[in-house]
Amino acid sequence: MSKFYARRRVSILAALSGLIASVALFNAPTASAALPTPVSAATARGYLAQLTVATEDRTGYDRDLFPHWITQSGSCNTREVVLKRDGTDVVQDSSCAAVSGSWYSVYDGATWTAASDLDIDHLVPLAEAWDSGADSWTTSRRQSFANDLTRPQLIAVTDNVNQAKGDQDPAQWMPSRTDYRCTYVRAWVQVKYYYGLSVDSAEKSALTNYLASC
């Protein structure tokens, strides 16, 4: 093969690769949540084995005991930071409110263009944390938990899906998108392990079963 035809072949292959990549991009969701990547399934299984199994106790729970959506920088609070992080082409006004953008909800596969259609889910719900040991925490630690941008604890999702989830654990509720469930349980276990929270027996059984198929 001459050098001319070899170079031409390389150029054609490069063009085809670019076209394929463009098609894939076009067909992809318009946005995808940027939840911090959770630990691997193997690590999550190791963490789960170390979690204390205990009966839940909600005595005294009050959402206000977890100060949330605190200021992160300038005029931006935690909710606004997550909306910016998890969206595509997000435009914020002078008060940091998202006025346009696109958000893909990984729980149900819906795409939204209005921030009002999204809730910021506490992956491990505040009430669930209270039941599992946060009742003994200081207010400062509960605030850190409720605004944690480092662990895979906060994610922008469809508002009514988040409301349907409520304070349920993985034995009671899981995302309808089955291909996200492995990510979800890995994140759940990582958050519980980091904060030293317990699991109840049904919760541990559900997590064990989901992680076994990851």
The one-letter amino acid code at 212 reads A
φ/ψ bin of 89: left (φ > 0), alpha (ψ from -120 to 50), beta (otherwise): left
Residue range 66-122, pLDDT digits in tens: 999 999 999 999 999 999 999 999 999 999 999 999 999 999 999 999 999 999 999
Average pLDDT over residues 34-41: 94
pLDDT of 19 above 50: no
Task: Say yes or no to pLDDT of 26 above 50.
Answer: no
The structure tokens listed for 59 are 């005595």
**184 pLDDT more than 90:** yes
Model confidence at 3: pLDDT above 60: no
Q: Cα(170)–Cα(46) distance, rounded to whole angstroms? A: 18
Average pLDDT over residues 113-134: 98
d(CA 55, CA 53): 7
Q: Which segments of the chain does DSSP mark as H helices, in order?
A: 3-27, 41-50, 78-86, 126-131, 139-146, 159-165, 181-195, 201-212
Higher pLDDT pick, 66 / 14 = 66
pLDDT recorded at residue 33? 56
> Within 10 A of 134 (CB to CB), how many other CB atoms are there?
23
Comparing 20-24, 95-99, 130-134, 208-212, the range with the smallest average pLDDT is 20-24
Mean pLDDT score across all residues of the chain: 88
Residue range 49-73: average pLDDT? Answer: 96
> Looking up tokens 């085809």, which residue turns up?
16
> Mean pLDDT lowest for which of 29-43, 53-67, 111-125, 138-152?
29-43
Instruction: Give phi and psi for 155, each to the nearest 5.
Output: -155, 140
